[in-house]
């Protein structure tokens, strides 16, 4: 049955107006949602682009930063990590300072390890290179107490010494002076002038000091304390300066061997050919007795010295 449109019920005007408003509102909501969706897509797209650029830029910046840091490390050395040798040197330097705070002078180290230290006084001189060659060929570390004026007259020994980090250079005054006979100002000059020569040869600032003849007084100790230097004496005097013969020099050193011992020998100040000849036998026999030969700083690190040191015997150091 067909409905007659003319017979359809008519809606009041207010109802028709309300319907049109609802439809218009729905269309506005739809358009608004479409605009928001479109805007969101644009934002996402822009974000993707910016992120890609940022990541690329960050990578570039990071790479540049890494190159800059590497360049800084390689050119200035300020950030380069310490090598194993440098770390060991720092530990030994700290051990020297610890020993200095424990005792005013060291003539012998502890007895816990079978380690000994060979030391040579009065150089450099004509026999110093020969002594150094014997030590290097047998891979033996040693400590040299250098006289400033000798270094000025004969620089070859100092140059040989500083090429090998196993050969430590200490201070033995500028002129090999008898310190107790000098006023404090002259003692200061003797110590400082020799240190300046040692540093001028390319060595680290010396932290080890041996007084000539083993002679010192309160002024000497005060000078060394202000300069944070450790006075090193000896346990065994080879008396090689007397030139008693190669066999006698060897016997004196080997018979006196004990853990922590410090051996006094000479590489200058006279004819030291007997010392050079005795050195290989000394090294061989000490090693046969299972002694390890080390520098004074290494001895202080491995086997710190006792507070009570043996009485000081004035000799010809």
State the DSSP string of 102-133: H-SEESB--SSS-EEEEEEEEE-STTHHHHHH
Q: Is 256 part of any domain?
A: yes
- Comparing CA positions, the residue from 204, 176, 174 lying closest to residue 189 is 174
Tokens of 26: 């729905």
Q: Are strands 105-106 and 230-232 parallel, antiparallel or unpaired?
A: parallel
Q: Is 4 part of any domain?
A: no
CA atoms in the 13 A half-sphere facing the CB of 103: 21
Q: Is 67 part of any domain?
A: yes
Residues 173, 300: Cα–Cα separation, whole Å: 22
pLDDT at 254: 98
Q: Is 22 part of any domain?
A: yes
SS3 (DSSP) at 208: strand
- Comparing CA positions, the residue from 199, 208, 203, 210 lying closest to residue 296 is 208
40 and 183 in one domain? no
- Residues involved in catalysis: 121, 266
101 and 62 in one domain? no
Element (H, E) at 226: helix 218-226
179 and 136 in one domain? yes
pLDDT at 313: 61
- For the cut 80, the answer to whether the pLDDT of residue 164 exceeds it is no
Domain end residue (candidates: 81, 111, 132): 81
Domain end residue (candidates: 81, 96, 112): 81
By the 8 A CB rule, do 257 and 128 touch?
no
Domains held by the chain: number = 2
Residues 148, 99: Cα–Cα separation, whole Å: 25
Buried b or exposed e, range 97-119, using 16+ CB within 10 angstroms: eebbeebebbbbbeeeeebbbbb
Q: What is the mean pLDDT of residues 149-154?
A: 84
pLDDT at 2: 47
Residues 90, 99: Cα–Cα separation, whole Å: 14
264 and 213 in one domain? yes
Q: What is the mean pLDDT of residues 213-221?
A: 95
pLDDT at 62: 41
Q: Is 310 part of any domain?
A: no
Domain end residue (candidates: 81, 100, 126): 81
Which CATH number does the domain housing residue 276 bear? 3.20.20.370
198 and 276 in one domain? yes
242 and 165 in one domain? yes
42 and 179 in one domain? no
pLDDT at 41: 59
Q: Name the residue range of residue 170's domain.
A: 84-302
Those residues whose C-beta lies under 8 Å from the C-beta of residue 222, and which sit 6 or more positions away, are: 184
Q: Is 1 part of any domain?
A: no
Tokens of 317: 């150091």
127 and 169 in one domain? yes
Q: Is 217 part of any domain?
A: yes
197 and 177 in one domain? yes
Tokens of 190: 């003797």
- Comparing CA positions, the residue from 294, 301, 290 lying closest to residue 114 is 290
Q: What is the mean pLDDT of residues 64-73?
A: 44
186 and 200 in one domain? yes
154 and 212 in one domain? yes
Residues 275, 278: Cα–Cα separation, whole Å: 5
Could you report the per-residue pLDDT of 226-247, keeping only the tens digit for each? 999 999 999 999 999 999 999 9
271 and 123 in one domain? yes
Element (H, E) at 232: strand 230-232
Average pLDDT, the chain: 84
Could you report the per-residue pLDDT of 24-63, keeping only the tens digit for each? 777 776 677 777 666 665 555 555 445 545 444 444 444 4
Q: Is 314 part of any domain?
A: no
């Amino acid at each position: 049955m067909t409905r007659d449109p003319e017979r359809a019920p008519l809606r009041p005007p207010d109802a028709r107006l309300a319907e049109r408003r609802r439809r218009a509102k729905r269309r506005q909501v739809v358009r608004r949602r479409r605009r928001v969706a479109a805007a969101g897509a644009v934002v996402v797209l822009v974000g993707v682009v910016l992120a890609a650029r940022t990541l690329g830029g960050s990578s570039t910046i990071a790479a540049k930063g890494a190159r800059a840091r590497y360049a800084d490390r390689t050119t200035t050395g300020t950030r380069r990590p310490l090598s194993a040798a440098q770390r060991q040197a720092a530990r030994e330097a700290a051990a020297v300072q610890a020993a200095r705070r424990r005792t005013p002078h060291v003539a012998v180290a502890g007895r816990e390890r079978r380690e000994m230290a060979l030391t040579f006084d009065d150089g450099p001189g004509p026999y110093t290179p020969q002594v150094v060659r014997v030590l290097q060929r047998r891979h033996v570390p040693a400590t040299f107490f250098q006289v400033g004026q000798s270094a000025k007259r004969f620089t070859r020994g100092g140059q040989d010494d500083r090429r090998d980090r196993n050969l430590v250079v200490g201070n033995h005054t500028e002129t090999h002076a008898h310190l107790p006979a000098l006023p404090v100002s002259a003692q200061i000059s003797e110590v400082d002038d020799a240190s300046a020569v040692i540093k001028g040869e390319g060595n680290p600032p010396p932290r080890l000091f041996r007084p000539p003849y083993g002679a010192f007084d309160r002024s000497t100790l005060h000078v060394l304390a202000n300069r944070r230097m450790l006075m090193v004496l000896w346990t065994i005097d080879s008396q090689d300066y007397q030139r008693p013969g190669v066999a006698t020099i060897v016997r004196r050193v080997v018979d006196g061997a004990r853990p922590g011992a410090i051996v006094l020998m000479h590489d200058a100040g006279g004819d030291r050919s007997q010392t050079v000849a005795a050195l290989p036998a000394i090294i061989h026999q000490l090693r046969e007795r299972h002694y390890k030969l080390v520098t004074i700083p290494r001895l202080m690190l491995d086997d710190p010295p006792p507070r009570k040191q043996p009485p000081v015997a004035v000799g010809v150091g």
